[in-house]
Amino acid sequence: MPRRNNLQKSLAATLLCAGNLASAGLVYVSSYSQTVTTLNYTHGQNTGIQKLSPVAVSQSCSDNPSWLTLDSPDSILYCINEGLNTPNGALTAFRTSPGGTLQKLGQVSTANGPVSGVVFGNNRHGLALAHYGGSAFTTWDVSNPAKLKLLQTKTYKLTGTPARPDRQDAPHPHEAVLDPTGKFLLVPDLGMDLIHLYSFDPNTLALKDITPISVKPGSGPRHLAFVVKGSKTFAYLVTELGNTIIGYNVTYPNGQIKFTEIFNIPSHGQGPAEPSSYAAAEVVVSPDSNYLIVSSRAENSTIIPDFDNPSTTIPSDPLINFKIDATTGQLKLLQVVPAGGQFPRQFSINKEGNLLAVGLQDDGRVVFVDRCPQTGLLGDFVAYADIAGQITSAVFA
């Protein structure tokens, strides 16, 4: 059943957005169908819902592309291959181009199951990977993208009986995150109910272990986002098994990093716990750091017109939109809106803050959602692209 219908989006909210200028750019999309697809979309044309065609397609990222990390200053796109049917994963570096084509520079085998990556270190010459299937965290020297070099491997093991044996049968690192100071790496682990924590030498990239952050048993930490508001720093952790958002106040005493929990709420905001069948997924902060958006899967909470055949309908999971209190870090629910289809595994916001690209894993589709930067409100669907296979990420260039 649809929840909190009074918070559904309205066309009027979109029309009230002032100064929502046109923007254009490339979007890179990874799919388990062995492809990285480049789309090009100009926003602000008011031409209805556009169906986009690829401007380029690469099949050089191996079998199961699961995540894309873009190093914009160096025009490098890193594609991570999860290796669902092989013992190992893979890491591929591409040179991007203004026209959207990708030139393969280098490729190496990795530990199994990489699902997330982030650049770090001086001049962004390091890349950190979280390996869900391989229960590992690895770091790489990517100063020469044609010669990717493994630096360190951290392998995790369960230390006790998990709260959810069905999903926590092993450590499952789900994301690699760099803190806002650029000095610490964090790795939410769905299987261990921990956030692994490391400092590192910015030149050599050598890791130093820090005591991990414990999360409520059975929560299943998935993704993490930071917000800096003046002198204050907050972090927001989405848990997949608990379907919660955990807020933290982040401080840096004596050059270290400290997390203090300030709230733990359901993924839809204050209220009853979400059904265990739901699966919270991505968390993204708006470019102005005033809003936080979470995607949730397996809800089928809304019915929307089918993009390819508007006379019929399809089920849709939601995007959950919050306003961030700059003083306390608390979240105020603004909207629960359709994501555009089923299983919004990942999504991103463009730098202008007026557009979302949502990767719908189960529908094989990327949907573009209008957004008002001034109010933070999400509006109508403005474009889409059908892409074969299960969509795993969509990243603005």
pLDDT per residue as tens digits for the range 284-320: 999 999 999 999 999 999 999 999 999 999 999 999 9
pLDDT score at 13: 47
Q: What is the pLDDT of residue 7?
A: 43
Query: In this predicted structure, what is the pLDDT of residue 45?
Result: 62
pTM for the model: 0.95
pLDDT at 224: 98
Please state, rounded to an integer, the average pLDDT across all residues of the chain: 94
- Residue 31 pLDDT more than 60? yes
Model confidence at 392, pLDDT cuts 50, 70, 90, reads very high
pLDDT digits (tens, 9 = 90+) for 358-374: 999 999 999 999 999 99
Over 60: is that where the pLDDT of 15 sits? no
Which pLDDT value is given to residue 24?
77
Q: Is the pLDDT of residue 164 over 60?
A: yes
pLDDT in tens, 65-91: 999 999 999 999 999 999 999 999 999
Mean pLDDT of the region 154-166: 95
16 pLDDT tier (thresholds 50, 70, 90): low
Q: Which residue has the higher pLDDT, 318 or 2?
A: 318
Question: pLDDT tens across 87-117, in order?
Answer: 999 999 999 999 999 999 999 999 999 999 9
Q: Where do the domains of the chain lie, and which CATH numbers do they carry?
A: 5-396 (2.130.10.10)
pLDDT in tens, 340-356: 999 999 999 999 999 99
Helix/strand/coil (H/E/C) assignment for every residue in the chain = CCCCHHHCCCHHHHHCCCCCCCEEEEEEEEECCCEEEEEEEEECCCCCCEECCCCEEECCCCCCEEEEEEEHHHCEEEEEECCCCCCCEEEEEEECCCCCCCEEEEEEEECCCEEEEEEECHHHCEEEEEECCCCEEEEEECCCCCCCEEEEEEECCCCCCCCCCCCCCCCCECCCEECCCCCEEEEEECCCCEEEEEEECCCCCCEEEEEEEECCCCCCEEEEEEEEECCEEEEEEEECCCCEEEEEEEECHHHCCEEEEEEEEECCCCCCCCCCCCEEEEEEECCCCCEEEEEEECCCCEEEECCCCCCCEEEECEEEEEEECCCCCCEEEEEEEECCCCCEEEEEECCCCCEEEEEECCCCEEEEEEECCCCCCEEEEEEEEECCCCEEEEEEC
User: By percentage, how much of the chain surpasses pLDDT 90?
Assistant: 91
pLDDT digits (tens, 9 = 90+) for 108-143: 999 999 999 999 999 999 999 999 999 999 999 999
